[in-house]
Amino acid sequence: MASFEPGTASSGPAPGVATPPGIISVESSVPDGQLKPDVLSELRLLKEEVLRLRGMVGRPSPRV
């Protein structure tokens, strides 16, 4: 926690860290900073799926 600096949050990669291949930064994909409606709907669907999968993983398995 010694490197923590409050108020310096950023949506880009950490300084000195290269972006992995195949990853597109938010700044390059959304130049005006606003998410498009189709992106928002896709994010909502992904969130619902993640929550559903978390519920499945957290559920105890039936004993055989």
The residues spanned by each domain of the chain are: 32-57
Q: For residue 47, is pLDDT > 90?
A: yes
Burial track 11-45 (b if 16+ CB lie within 10 A, e otherwise) = eeeeeeeeeeeeeeeeeeeeeeeeeeeeeeeeeee
Residue 55 is predicted with a pLDDT of: 87
Q: For residue 61, is pLDDT > 60?
A: yes
Residue 43 is predicted with a pLDDT of: 92
Q: What is the mean pLDDT of residues 55-64?
A: 77
- Does residue 62 or residue 2 have the better pLDDT? 62
